Structure 1
Amino acid sequence: MVNDKELGYGVKALTGINMDSKFRDGIIDELFKIKGVREISEVTGRFDIIVTMYAQNLSEMHKLISEGIGRIQGVLASESFIEMKRRTKTMPYNHST
Protein backbone atom coordinates (compact mmCIF):
# COMPACT_ATOMS: atom_id res chain seq x y z
CA MET A 1 0.00 0.00 0.00
CA VAL A 2 1.47 3.32 -1.11
CA ASN A 3 1.19 6.28 1.27
CA ASP A 4 0.76 9.14 -1.20
CA LYS A 5 0.97 11.88 1.42
CA GLU A 6 4.37 10.58 2.56
CA LEU A 7 5.52 10.80 -1.07
CA GLY A 8 4.40 14.44 -1.24
CA TYR A 9 1.16 13.95 -3.14
CA GLY A 10 -1.49 15.90 -1.26
CA VAL A 11 -4.16 15.98 -3.99
CA LYS A 12 -5.90 13.14 -5.79
CA ALA A 13 -8.25 13.59 -8.74
CA LEU A 14 -10.35 11.32 -10.88
CA THR A 15 -10.87 12.74 -14.35
CA GLY A 16 -13.53 11.40 -16.68
CA ILE A 17 -12.69 11.81 -20.35
CA ASN A 18 -14.79 11.60 -23.48
CA MET A 19 -12.68 10.93 -26.55
CA ASP A 20 -12.80 10.41 -30.26
CA SER A 21 -12.30 6.64 -30.46
CA LYS A 22 -10.09 7.02 -33.56
CA PHE A 23 -7.44 8.52 -31.24
CA ARG A 24 -7.86 6.01 -28.37
CA ASP A 25 -4.36 4.50 -28.32
CA GLY A 26 -2.66 7.87 -28.84
CA ILE A 27 -4.70 9.46 -26.05
CA ILE A 28 -3.81 6.70 -23.62
CA ASP A 29 -0.11 6.95 -24.56
CA GLU A 30 -0.17 10.73 -24.07
CA LEU A 31 -1.99 10.46 -20.74
CA PHE A 32 0.68 8.15 -19.35
CA LYS A 33 3.31 10.77 -20.26
CA ILE A 34 1.70 13.23 -17.83
CA LYS A 35 3.46 13.35 -14.48
CA GLY A 36 1.01 12.30 -11.81
CA VAL A 37 -1.14 9.98 -13.93
CA ARG A 38 -1.18 6.70 -12.09
CA GLU A 39 -4.02 4.71 -13.60
CA ILE A 40 -6.31 4.75 -16.64
CA SER A 41 -9.52 2.72 -16.68
CA GLU A 42 -11.79 2.17 -19.66
CA VAL A 43 -15.32 2.35 -18.26
CA THR A 44 -18.98 2.15 -19.15
CA GLY A 45 -21.34 5.05 -18.60
CA ARG A 46 -20.97 8.75 -19.18
CA PHE A 47 -17.20 8.72 -19.78
CA ASP A 48 -14.99 6.62 -22.01
CA ILE A 49 -12.07 6.51 -19.57
CA ILE A 50 -11.35 7.53 -15.98
CA VAL A 51 -7.86 8.77 -15.14
CA THR A 52 -6.52 8.65 -11.57
CA MET A 53 -4.01 11.45 -10.96
CA TYR A 54 -1.92 12.69 -8.04
CA ALA A 55 -0.30 16.08 -7.50
CA GLN A 56 1.48 17.91 -4.71
CA ASN A 57 -1.14 20.66 -4.51
CA LEU A 58 -4.17 22.14 -6.26
CA SER A 59 -2.08 24.46 -8.40
CA GLU A 60 -0.06 21.55 -9.76
CA MET A 61 -3.25 19.53 -10.34
CA HIS A 62 -4.75 22.44 -12.28
CA LYS A 63 -1.66 22.52 -14.49
CA LEU A 64 -1.72 18.74 -15.06
CA ILE A 65 -5.36 18.85 -16.11
CA SER A 66 -5.44 22.06 -18.14
CA GLU A 67 -2.04 21.83 -19.82
CA GLY A 68 -1.69 18.06 -19.85
CA ILE A 69 -5.09 16.59 -20.63
CA GLY A 70 -6.36 19.71 -22.35
CA ARG A 71 -3.71 19.57 -25.10
CA ILE A 72 -4.21 15.94 -26.17
CA GLN A 73 -5.61 15.50 -29.66
CA GLY A 74 -8.85 13.53 -29.64
CA VAL A 75 -9.97 14.49 -26.13
CA LEU A 76 -13.48 15.87 -26.64
CA ALA A 77 -14.34 16.75 -23.04
CA SER A 78 -13.20 16.08 -19.50
CA GLU A 79 -14.55 16.50 -15.99
CA SER A 80 -12.37 16.28 -12.89
CA PHE A 81 -13.33 15.25 -9.39
CA ILE A 82 -10.93 16.31 -6.61
CA GLU A 83 -10.89 13.95 -3.64
CA MET A 84 -11.86 15.84 -0.48
CA LYS A 85 -11.77 12.99 2.02
CA ARG A 86 -11.09 9.27 1.74
CA ARG A 87 -12.58 6.47 3.79
CA THR A 88 -11.56 2.91 3.25
CA LYS A 89 -12.98 -0.42 4.24
CA THR A 90 -10.62 -3.09 5.45
CA MET A 91 -11.23 -6.26 3.56
CA PRO A 92 -10.36 -9.58 5.18
CA TYR A 93 -7.89 -11.70 3.31
CA ASN A 94 -9.57 -14.96 2.37
CA HIS A 95 -7.18 -17.51 0.94
CA SER A 96 -8.96 -20.33 -0.84
CA THR A 97 -7.25 -23.68 -1.38
Structure 2
Amino acid sequence: MLNVKRGCVSSTAEELLKVKGVTEVYSVTGEFDLIAVVRVRNPEEVADVVTEHLHRIDGILKSDTHVAFRHYSEHDLEAAFSLGAEG
Protein backbone atom coordinates (compact mmCIF):
# COMPACT_ATOMS: atom_id res chain seq x y z
CA MET A 1 0.00 0.00 0.00
CA LEU A 2 1.49 3.28 -1.10
CA ASN A 3 1.05 7.00 -0.66
CA VAL A 4 2.29 8.99 -3.63
CA LYS A 5 2.83 12.65 -4.46
CA ARG A 6 -0.24 14.53 -5.64
CA GLY A 7 -0.66 14.20 -9.39
CA CYS A 8 1.72 11.24 -9.62
CA VAL A 9 -0.64 8.27 -9.30
CA SER A 10 -0.56 7.20 -12.96
CA SER A 11 3.16 7.74 -13.53
CA THR A 12 4.04 5.99 -10.26
CA ALA A 13 1.80 3.04 -11.15
CA GLU A 14 3.53 2.72 -14.52
CA GLU A 15 6.97 2.75 -12.86
CA LEU A 16 5.87 0.15 -10.33
CA LEU A 17 4.85 -2.24 -13.10
CA LYS A 18 8.43 -2.14 -14.42
CA VAL A 19 9.73 -3.68 -11.17
CA LYS A 20 10.34 -7.42 -11.34
CA GLY A 21 7.85 -9.11 -9.03
CA VAL A 22 5.18 -6.40 -9.21
CA THR A 23 2.32 -8.07 -11.05
CA GLU A 24 -0.57 -5.67 -10.48
CA VAL A 25 -1.12 -2.09 -9.36
CA TYR A 26 -4.50 -0.69 -8.29
CA SER A 27 -5.47 2.91 -7.60
CA VAL A 28 -7.70 2.97 -4.53
CA THR A 29 -9.66 5.30 -2.28
CA GLY A 30 -8.96 5.79 1.39
CA GLU A 31 -5.76 6.21 3.34
CA PHE A 32 -3.53 4.99 0.49
CA ASP A 33 -3.32 5.92 -3.18
CA LEU A 34 -2.05 2.68 -4.72
CA ILE A 35 -1.87 -1.01 -3.91
CA ALA A 36 0.99 -2.87 -5.58
CA VAL A 37 0.75 -6.66 -5.63
CA VAL A 38 4.16 -8.34 -5.44
CA ARG A 39 4.41 -12.03 -6.28
CA VAL A 40 7.75 -13.58 -5.36
CA ARG A 41 8.99 -16.95 -4.09
CA ASN A 42 10.38 -16.02 -0.67
CA PRO A 43 10.50 -13.26 1.99
CA GLU A 44 14.00 -12.19 0.96
CA GLU A 45 12.66 -11.26 -2.47
CA VAL A 46 9.90 -9.17 -0.85
CA ALA A 47 12.55 -7.30 1.12
CA ASP A 48 14.55 -6.72 -2.06
CA VAL A 49 11.57 -5.40 -4.01
CA VAL A 50 10.55 -3.03 -1.20
CA THR A 51 13.95 -1.73 -0.10
CA GLU A 52 15.89 -1.83 -3.36
CA HIS A 53 13.24 -0.96 -5.93
CA LEU A 54 10.03 0.60 -4.61
CA HIS A 55 11.71 3.21 -2.46
CA ARG A 56 13.77 4.38 -5.42
CA ILE A 57 10.71 5.29 -7.46
CA ASP A 58 10.18 9.04 -7.51
CA GLY A 59 6.72 9.89 -6.29
CA ILE A 60 6.39 7.31 -3.53
CA LEU A 61 6.06 9.05 -0.17
CA LYS A 62 5.23 6.11 2.10
CA SER A 63 4.74 2.37 1.88
CA ASP A 64 2.98 -0.08 4.17
CA THR A 65 3.83 -3.71 3.42
CA HIS A 66 1.46 -6.59 4.15
CA VAL A 67 2.21 -10.26 3.52
CA ALA A 68 -0.56 -12.69 2.62
CA PHE A 69 -0.32 -16.13 4.18
CA ARG A 70 -3.05 -17.90 2.22
CA HIS A 71 -4.98 -17.39 -0.98
CA TYR A 72 -8.63 -18.34 -0.64
CA SER A 73 -10.47 -17.32 -3.80
CA GLU A 74 -9.25 -15.63 -6.93
CA HIS A 75 -12.86 -14.87 -7.86
CA ASP A 76 -13.49 -12.98 -4.62
CA LEU A 77 -10.31 -10.94 -5.08
CA GLU A 78 -11.24 -10.00 -8.65
CA ALA A 79 -14.77 -9.07 -7.58
CA ALA A 80 -13.49 -6.86 -4.76
CA PHE A 81 -11.24 -4.86 -7.07
CA SER A 82 -13.80 -4.68 -9.89
CA LEU A 83 -16.57 -2.91 -7.98
CA GLY A 84 -17.98 -0.16 -10.14
CA ALA A 85 -15.96 -1.20 -13.18
CA GLU A 86 -17.70 -1.36 -16.50
CA GLY A 87 -17.97 -4.85 -17.83
Q: Could you say which TM-score interval applies, normalised by the shorter chain?
A: 0.7 to 0.9
1:77 equivalent in alignment to 2:57: no
> Which residue is equivalent to 2:27?
42
Q: Deviations over 1:45-88 (max 9, x none)?
A: 11101111101111011101111111111111000110112222
Instruction: Identify the residue that residue 30 of structure 1 maps to in structure 2.
Output: 15
The runs of 4+ residues in structure 1 deviating greater than 6 Å are none
TM-score by length of 1: 0.70
Q: Does 1:87 align with 2:72?
A: yes
How many equivalent residue pairs? 76
Alignment of 1:4-23 (within 5 A): 16-23=1-8
Aligned match of 2:84? none
Identity %: 29
Amino acid at match of 2:51: S
Gaps of at least 5 residues in structure 1 are: 1-15, 92-97
> What TM-score, normalized by structure 2, do the two folds share?
0.77
Distance 1:57 1:28, change over 3 A: same
Residue segments in structure 2 that go unaligned for 5+ positions in a row = 77-87
In 2, Cα distance between equivalents of 1:39 and 1:89: 14
